[in-house]
Structure 1
Amino acid sequence: MKLHGIFLPHEKGTENSETIAVPLPSKVKISMSQSMGAPCDPLVKKGDRVLVGQKIGDSDKFMSAPVHSSVSGTVTAVSDMLLANGRTCKAVEIETDGEQEVSPDVKPPVVTDKESLCKAVRESGCVGLGGAGFPTHIKLNYNEAKGHVDSLVINGAECEPYITSDYRTMIEDADAVIDGIRIVKDTLKIEKCYIGIEDNKPEAIKILQKKAAEYNDIAVVKLKSSYPQGAEKVLAFNTTGRMIAEGQLPSDQGIIVMNVSTAAFISSYIKTGMPLVTRRLTIDGDIVKTPCNVSAPIGTPYSELLKFAEANMEFAHKIISGGPMMGMCVYDVETPLCKTNNAILAFKKSLDDGKKGKLKVNAQQTNCIKCGRCIAACPLGLMPQRFEKAFDRKDKETLLRLKINLCMNCGACSYVCPAKRDLAEKNQLAKQFAMQK
């Protein structure tokens, strides 16, 4: 069996750019919505002094992870913030004092078993750092009654163009990656770990193979450089041979899937007790003079990060949080950095300069010619063209029969469509429509 995909220009121009810490911003704005789960409630108010690593937001909802201050300083406001998905949440605005005084609450946790590991990971504020932002403690606290988890799959594919932040984690923090794997694997008594890395990252493969050679239960799996190789279902199948069916979690197939940067963070947190308050990300694009990988405090305005990379904002037309395939367009350059941001890409009006292999945007949409390329490109063999028609006529029964809920919004269908139909966009609207009661 073969899972389909597409081949994209890699555009990994920052792969050799060592991570640089950006200067401390004068202010940060920390969103209370930093994960796929429920937003947190602010724990501080205007006028409070906060310290680095101090918990400033939490929730008693099941699907949630706490939020911590990335700076020391004074809370200047607790305001409403408009998110890219149109929803609003609270945000804590902090004026930094330049001291970066660490909270006394920052202490290495004691981890002895599954319960204490899950508790520690929750307290760290850790969410999936591959972009989805699923709270990590929930992933680790799988239901053992449904079956034993025997395989840990580490996502080092980083298949989207431009982004190299995970790659730099594998190059710069390989020991932390392996240590994080061992913590999770040994504590949860998982027998085998597979580190999936695309074959366009030979140096990362070499380094982690050397580190993993010390253990007989960690294997580095070289994957074909195709998109979306890093998608959870695709990665799980291509490393373990197991298919995660509709409605299933990876744990239902005996698998936990974790991003390589998440594994490295867990190692750091267990050693230091410092929660997730900084983010490594790539800054790139055709208006960015100095493409780079940086480490920045959560809440840093995008404008500061783009300025650091010498982006010529006079020509800015499209700013993307994440990759060009699955990232979201940013409506305001003052948008603050959050935990799930692995890249900021800034582009001119069009990327179509006539050169072969360049990513194209802003193309004119025409009628579907029924060529079937979208079906051939879909990694799960879905039918985007039929999704579009069913959604347009509001046919929920057909959408569910065609398994619209399996769509992962990878965008491969839109990319290959010669008519430039907004298939990926329609797919997501169709999923929301199909889930309505």
Structure 2
Amino acid sequence: MLRKLFKFHGGVKPATHKDAATASPIVTPPLPARLKVPLHQSIGGTPRPLVKAGDKVLKGQRIGGADGNVSSAVHAPTSGTVLAVEPVVTAHASGLSTLSVIIEPDGEERWIERQPIDLRATPADEIRDYLRDQGVVGLGGAVFPSHLKLKASREKPTRTLVINGAECEPFITCDDMLMRERAAGIVSGIRVMRQILGAEEVIVGIEDNKPAAVDAMTLAVQTAGLDQVSVVAIPTRYPAGGAKQLIRVLTGIEVPHGARSTDYGVQCFNVGTAYAIHEALELDQPLISRIVTVAGNVGQPRNYEVLFGTPMNELVALAGELPGTDAYIMGGPMMGFRMPAFDVPVVKATNCVLVSSPSLFPPPPPEMNCIRCGECAKACPADLQPFELYWFSRAKNFGKAQEYHLFDCIECGCCSYVCPSHIRLVDYYRFAKSEIWARERDKDAADAARERFDFRNLRQEREKQEKAARLAAKAAETRAKLAGESGDDDKTTSSAKPSQAEEAKKALIAAALEKARQQKERAPVPPRNTDNLSADKQAEIDAIEARRAAARQEAE
């Protein structure tokens, strides 16, 4: 049955450059000499290290424990020895370091003991916790922990499960090859996700420039005997692989600004994520590798199943790196990032290592002034006003930029692609977002400091009041005690009380004077160590004693 398809706003049609990397099957590269496995590879908290230098680890052993609910565990990609747990420059445009576990493989590939769980007898909450501990995250690029997306909303149950196989970015073919060669595993993961979410229907969306993948997925669905699961070929147009754009094409639902697809009963997962869920739940195999496309300035573009932590330069060398390479790009030419070094490790977000050269990606022409032609607005798939966002971001008017829905920008690069003035618009949007996030963090820190200061003042004021109350209670108790003692002698008049106090004071003064007089009459203490003195020293002592005697006489 043919399915009615819809269109999304904007989009572009860049050259795909996909044929070369799909000519050969997926291969597994040899073990590298070192695996540098970053602990932070997904959205959320950084997993806490569970190993230390010198420890022996097995393949699949957990080396980083999930830090909170919005986090995901990290596992050893192979068996070997932990050389160090230290910061390493990671695969991120910032060039910053992140805490990583450096493993020296022993070549034995010894697995941990594996035992798949019983999906039918295991509650959904335990399955989600299991996926968190298996390190499963979204492999479409966002690396959001999958166990959180598999939690159905009570207010709006999931009606449609969308599986994203569009893979619209040029050069990238990892999902295409995964669907061609491992469609049965993807369908198995789809069955599990559908069971957890309780979805009524499943739609697998694949761009129509991947006919082999469409045929493979269709056959796998038919073989599995799943009902209400359809494989749909959609028109090739970038960025059809964006979640909101794919949902629009397949269902006609247009998710508005500030809303989520789950508000409309739709949830979207990548085909790579579905396969990772299949491996985690049905094979008890944590996420330790993924399919990565190596393309660009190489002799043999290809897809590899790469262990996380593999240095990118060792992977690129297998594809025959050509002279003239000036950078590695993680991702495609539209949304990818230049890597800070050639030996940064492959991580869960690495779907492609695009080898750049000046001949393949020449330096962009110099920017010219914006002429407000509106071409960027026509191409924007999020239906924004990119030229307005550009002006406000450039002027650092971040409040106005947010009014124009800056954070609905998916940074697809369509606006920069069509800009006749060669303005790198996405760079301005990324700058504005980072500044807003930084200011929000500073504001949160200032608010927290102010709350601590106010609490400190309140605590000190409370302590003062409590101390004053204790002193007042003690004084009242003393007064009550004195009043009770004075009540025993009713004959004592008020005029007699001051005279008694004066008499006591005089007695104390007299006792002090008597003590001083007795000390004065006491025989002086003879000096010590005065034997065998010289004549000069004896004369000096006699002079001192004479002065003391004279002083005593004057005092008397």
Match of 2:209 among 186, 200, 207: 200
- For 1:158-237, list aligned pairs within 5 A: 158-213=167-222, 214-237=225-248
Q: Does 1:45 align with 2:52?
A: yes
Verify: 1:19 aligned to 2:26, yes or no.
yes
Three-state SS of the structure 2 residue aligned to 1:21 is coil
Q: Higher strand share goes to which structure?
A: 1
**Which whole-Å CA distance do the structure 1 matches of 2:14 and 2:24 have between them?**
21
Structure with the higher helix share, 1 or 2: 2
Asked whether the equivalents of residues 39 and 100 of structure 2 are also in contact (C-alpha less than 8 Å), the reply is yes
How far the C-alpha of 1:163 sits from its partner, in A, is 0.7
Deviation at 1:422, TM superposition (A): 1.2
2:13 equivalent to 1:7: yes
Q: 1:374 aligns with which of 357, 376, 394?
A: 376
> In structure 2, which of residues 300, 316, 327 is the aligned counterpart of residue 318 of structure 1?
327
Structure 2 CA distance for aligned equivalents of residues 247 and 146 of structure 1: 18
Structure 1 CA distance for aligned equivalents of residues 15 and 332 of structure 2? 13
2:266 paired with 1:255: yes
Partners of 2:240 and 2:363 lie apart in 1 by 22
Residue among 384, 387, 408 paired with 1:385: 387
Any unmatched runs of 5+ in structure 2? 1-6, 441-556
- How big is the shift at 1:385? 1.2
Counterpart AA for 1:3:
H
In the TM superposition, 1:108-187 aligns within 5 A as 108-111=116-119, 112-142=122-152, 144-187=153-196
Deviation at 1:109?
2.5
Select between 149-158 and 266-275 the one with higher mean Cα deviation: 266-275
Greater RCO between the two (CA within 8 Å, min separation 6)?
1
TM alignment of 1:355-374, pairs within 5 A: 361-374=363-376
Q: Distance in 1 between matches of 2:181 and 2:423?
A: 40
Return closer, same or farther for 1:427/1:46 CA change in 2, 3 Å cut-off: same
- Separation in structure 2 between the aligned mates of residue 392 and residue 123 of structure 1, nearest angstrom: 43
CA contact (8 A) 1:113 1:187 kept: no
Letter in structure 1 aligned against 2:385: M
CA drift of 1:424 comes to 0.7
2:115 is matched by which residue type in structure 1? K
CA deviation map 1:378-421 (0-9, x unaligned): 00111111111111222233212211111001111111112110
Please give the alpha-carbon distance, in whole angstroms, between the structure 2 residues aligned to 1:232 and 1:288: 31
Residue 107 (1) aligns with residue 109 (2)? no
Match in the other structure for 2:418: 416
Residues 72, 97 of structure 1: 8 Å contact kept: yes
Aligned to 1:301: 311
Shift of 1:82: 3.2
Q: 1:136 to 1:395 in 2, by over 3 A?
A: same
Q: Secondary structure at the match of 1:29?
A: strand
Distance in 2 separating the partners of 1:281 and 1:2: 28
The alpha-carbon deviation at position 216 of structure 1 amounts to 2.8
> Aligned equivalents of 2:233 and 2:102: distance in 1?
43
Q: Which has the larger radius of gyration?
A: 2
Q: Distance in 2 between matches of 1:28 and 1:251?
A: 38
Q: Give the structure 2 partner of residue 429 of structure 1.
A: 431
Equivalent position amino acid for 1:11 in 2 = H
One-letter code of the match for 1:95? E
Report the CA distance shift for 1:44/1:29 in structure 2 as closer, same or farther (over 3 A): same
Q: Which amino acid aligns with 1:245?
A: P
**Cα distance, 1:63 vs. partner?**
1.4
2:469 aligned partner? none
**In structure 2, what residue type is equivalent to 1:220?**
V
Cα RMSD, aligned residues only: 1.6
In structure 1, distance between residues paired with 2:301 and 2:10: 31
Q: Give the CA deviation at 1:361.
A: 4.9
Partners of 1:250 and 1:56 in 2: how far apart? 34
Cα contact 1:318–1:349 (8 A) shared by 2:
no
Contact 2:42-2:72 within 8 A present in 1 as well: yes
Structure 1 unaligned runs (5+)? 353-359
The question of whether the paired residues in 2 share the 8 Å contact of 1:78 and 1:92 is answered with: yes
* Alpha-carbon distance in 2 for matches of 1:128, 1:185: 16
The total of aligned residue pairs comes to 426
**TM-score scaled by structure 2?**
0.74
Letter in 1 for 2:207: E
Alpha-carbon deviation of 1:117?
A: 2.2
Q: Structure 1, residues 171-199: CA drift from partner, whole Å, max 9, x if none?
A: 00111111111111023211110101001
- Aligned partners of 1:363, 1:259: CA distance in 2, in Å? 35
Deviations 1:263-302 (Å, cap 9, x if unpaired)? 11211222211100111111010x2011111111110000
Cα deviation 1:118-147 (Å, max 9, x = unaligned)? 1221121011111111111111124x2331
The answer for the alignment partner of 2:507 in structure 1 is: none
- Residue 206 of structure 1, CA deviation: 1.8
Three-state SS of the structure 1 residue aligned to 2:310 is coil
Q: Distance in 1 between matches of 2:328 and 2:289?
A: 21
